[in-house]
Amino acid sequence: MKKFSLFFLVLLLSACDTWGVPPQPFPVWTPISSSTPGIVTATPIILLLPFTSTAGVIVITPVTPTNTEIPSPTFTSVPILPTETFTSFPIQSVTVDILGCNTSIDITHGMGEVTNAYVTVKNTGTVDLPNTCALLRAIDEDREHPDKKVCVPNLPVQNQVSLKLTVDSAYKKDTVIQVDATSNEVILLRVDKPSCRDIGIFGGAPSDVGVIKPIQP
């Protein structure tokens, strides 16, 4: 009976709050509610210069310009040359040959001794020569002779004509002469001859005086 009473007393004492602090309940772990995870986008690190990494240290190496760059294509323009158009211009050209001289007496015109000069005018240009004339002058010329200037109406291209010209000259005196070749009063050529010797030395007077014919070689 004492044993039962002691056990009951111990049980009663153990049921009393002798410390004044109630016992804590056994902790229960409740899982944390999950939420939508945040989206993290990695931002790339852009390096404008070449770099090398040594033991976690970034070393930036400057760029040295070189001539290894691929050159841009070069275009060579070929100029287009205009086609040359040649325009032929009329050319007036003559040659004059003084064949020789002789002397005579001109009673018809009331003159004494006169000097006759024989000349050949050749049209070597590219156009015909209208009103082609030969005019004779002498250093000892006295009165003007009507035959000192002789003309033909037209001298075609690559044609020639021989003419007889006369001037009033001094008696038995060596005559220095000058011949002008003209076309429509424009002087094309002037030739001099310091001494006009006898035409007979050069084969005599030409027989085709005043005749227009192709230029003879």
Q: What share of the chain is helix, strand, coil (3-state, %, to 5)?
A: 10, 35, 55
Does the residue 35 lie in any domain?
no
Tell me, yes or no, if the pTM score tops 0.75: no
10 has a pLDDT exceeding 60: no
Q: Is residue 78 part of a domain?
A: no
Number of domain units in the chain: 1
Is residue 12, in this structure, part of any structural domain at all? Answer: no
The residue with tokens 């049921």 is 15
Question: Quick one: pLDDT at residue 28?
Answer: 53
Looking at the predicted structure, is the pLDDT value of residue 16 above 80? no
Rg (CA), the chain: 67
- How far is residue 167's CA from residue 148's CA, in Å, rounded to a whole number? 6
CATH number, residue 114? 2.60.40.10
Rounded-to-integer distance, Cα 65 and Cα 46, Å: 21
101 lies in a domain?
yes
Residue 167 lies in domain: 94-203
Strand, coil or helix: 199: helix
Whole-angstrom distance, CA of residue 200 vs CA of residue 202? 5
Residue 43 lies in a domain: no
The DSSP code sequence of 61-78 is -PPPP-S-SPPPPP----
From the centroid of its chain, how far is CA 89? 23
**pLDDT tens digit sequence for 94-132:** 999 999 888 888 888 888 888 899 999 999 999 999 999
Tokens of 3: 């044993």
Residues 6+ apart with CB under 8 A from 177: 98, 101, 115, 117, 136, 137, 138, 139, 167, 192, 193, 196
Asked whether residue 23 is assigned to any structural domain, the reply reads no
Please indicate, yes or no, if residue 183 is contained in any of the structural domains.
yes
How confident is the model over 39-88, as pLDDT tens digits? 555 555 444 545 455 555 555 555 555 555 566 666 566 666 666 666 67
Percent of the chain exceeding pLDDT 90 equals: 36
Question: Does residue 68 belong to any structural domain of this protein?
Answer: no
- Identity of the amino acid at 115: T
Given this model, what pLDDT does residue 103 score?
85
